[in-house]
């Protein structure tokens, strides 16, 4: 998960330019797809091609407009038993946040698995507010201390990548947060609620890592500038799974032995030809 760069004012301006007087969140779905580089805002999988009003809209059915704070009744989420005592989980507003149902700052384009299959109407918080009568804004609702991370714009004070990093293909709470802290639990709850360790995400992440490792072993032979600038470009926000890619590139710098071990293991799991595996097992260039 990476931050979707935009301001509230900029988002509202883009929506107004695209669909003045819009009434349904589906009307402005293309705005969020463009902002998010056609990736799910949660898992970073690719969720749609380029769109123009003249084209058939059926391709947009494969993506949802996610309401971060549910517009209707909120369902209690239970932490896995393996967590033991775990974080203190409460429902923010059991009957939902209907006044945010048409607030674009509460929207995100997401894949159907993350939205309908995983997040659904869960919204665990640490400290429910006592008074919602004044219909506070998304930003004002930070006092609830929500556990789920939200990557859109400036709602979060910290970039989601500062909460979640990757060990190989698997997301984990960032190493800077001590287990048991609110920051640690925000990362852990987000990963668990959205199912960010699910198999349909693991496979393409492994492919991306193996591709990076293979290019790392061959690019220096063809590029006088070495592998770094070329591979770092693959961690650009436009690419699927860029957060995973960035974590792996850091691992190549900080622990090349482990980076190589993971690449070889994933290559075998993916059934790559033996000559490609031998390339990865060779001496890695600096």
Residue pLDDT, tens place only, 192-248: 999 999 999 999 999 999 999 988 888 766 565 666 677 777 778 888 999 999 999
**What pLDDT does residue 21 have?**
85
pLDDT at 57 over 60: no
Is 2 among the domain residues? no
Is the pTM higher than 0.95? The answer reads no
Q: Which domain holds residue 253?
A: 199-281
Q: Do 142 and 101 share a structural domain? A: yes
Q: Report the pLDDT value the prediction gives residue 53, as an integer from 0 to 100.
A: 44
DSSP letter (8 states) at residue 80: P
Average pLDDT over residues 88-113: 89
Whether residue 89 is found in the same domain as residue 169: yes
Residue 173 lies in a domain: yes
- How many alpha carbons lie under 13 Å from residue 226 in its C-beta half-sphere? 6
Residue 15's pLDDT is 92
Look at residue 166 and give its three-state secondary structure. Answer: strand
Q: Look at residue 286 and tell me if it is in a domain.
A: no
Among 162, 194, 226, where does a domain finish? Answer: 194
177 with 45, same domain? Answer: yes
Same domain, 16 and 151: yes
Say if residue 135 is in the same domain as residue 107.
Answer: yes
pLDDT at residue 55 in the model: 47
Average pLDDT of the residues of the chain? 87
- Is 130 in the same domain as 182? yes
Do 79 and 180 lie in one domain? The reply is yes
Domains held by the chain: number: 2
The count of other CB atoms within 10 Å of the CB of residue 221 is: 8
Same domain flag for 190 and 219: no
Q: What is the pLDDT of residue 58?
A: 42
Are residue 169 and residue 204 in the same domain, yes or no? no
Instruction: Tell which of 177, 194, 211 closes a domain.
Output: 194
Within a domain: 144 = yes
Residue after which a domain boundary falls, among 194, 221, 238: 194
Same domain as 231, residue 181: no
Tokens linked to 99:
């006044």
Supply the pLDDT for residue 277: 92
8 A C-beta contact, residue 43 and residue 185: no
> What CA–CA distance (Å, rounded) separates 39 from 102?
22
Angle between helices 199-222 and 242-254 (to 10 degrees): 50
- The reply to whether 123 and 243 lie within a common domain is no
27 lies in the same domain as 167: yes
Asked if pLDDT for residue 59 goes beyond 70, the answer is no
């Amino acid at each position: 998960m990476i931050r979707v760069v935009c301001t509230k004012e900029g988002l509202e301006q883009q929506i107004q330019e695209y669909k003045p007087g819009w009434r349904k969140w589906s009307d402005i779905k293309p705005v969020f797809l463009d902002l998010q580089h056609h990736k799910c805002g949660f898992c970073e999988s690719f969720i749609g091609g380029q769109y123009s009003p003249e084209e058939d809209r059926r391709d947009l059915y494969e993506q949802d407009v996610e309401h971060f704070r549910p517009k209707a009744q909120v369902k209690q989420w239970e932490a896995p038993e393996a967590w033991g005592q775990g974080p203190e989980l409460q429902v923010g507003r059991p009957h939902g946040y209907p006044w945010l149902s048409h607030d674009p700052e509460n929207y995100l384009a997401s894949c159907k698995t993350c939205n309908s299959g995983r997040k659904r109407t869960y919204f665990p918080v640490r400290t429910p507010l006592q008074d919602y009568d004044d219909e506070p804004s998304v930003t004002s609702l930070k006092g609830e201390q929500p556990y789920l991370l939200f990557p859109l714009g400036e709602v979060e004070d910290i970039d989601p990548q500062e909460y979640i990093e990757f060990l190989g293909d698997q997301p984990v709470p960032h190493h800077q947060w001590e287990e048991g802290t609110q920051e640690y639990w925000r990362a852990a709850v987000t990963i668990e609620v959205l199912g960010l360790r699910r198999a349909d995400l693991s496979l393409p992440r492994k492919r991306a890592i193996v591709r990076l490792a293979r290019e790392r072993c061959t690019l220096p032979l063809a590029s006088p500038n070495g592998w770094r600038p070329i591979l770092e470009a693959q961690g650009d926000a436009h690419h699927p799974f860029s957060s995973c890619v960035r974590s792996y590139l850091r691992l190549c710098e900080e622990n090349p032995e482990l980076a190589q071990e993971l690449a070889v293991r994933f290559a075998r799991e993916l059934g790559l030809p033996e000559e490609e595996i031998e390339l990865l097992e060779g001496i890695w260039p600096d």
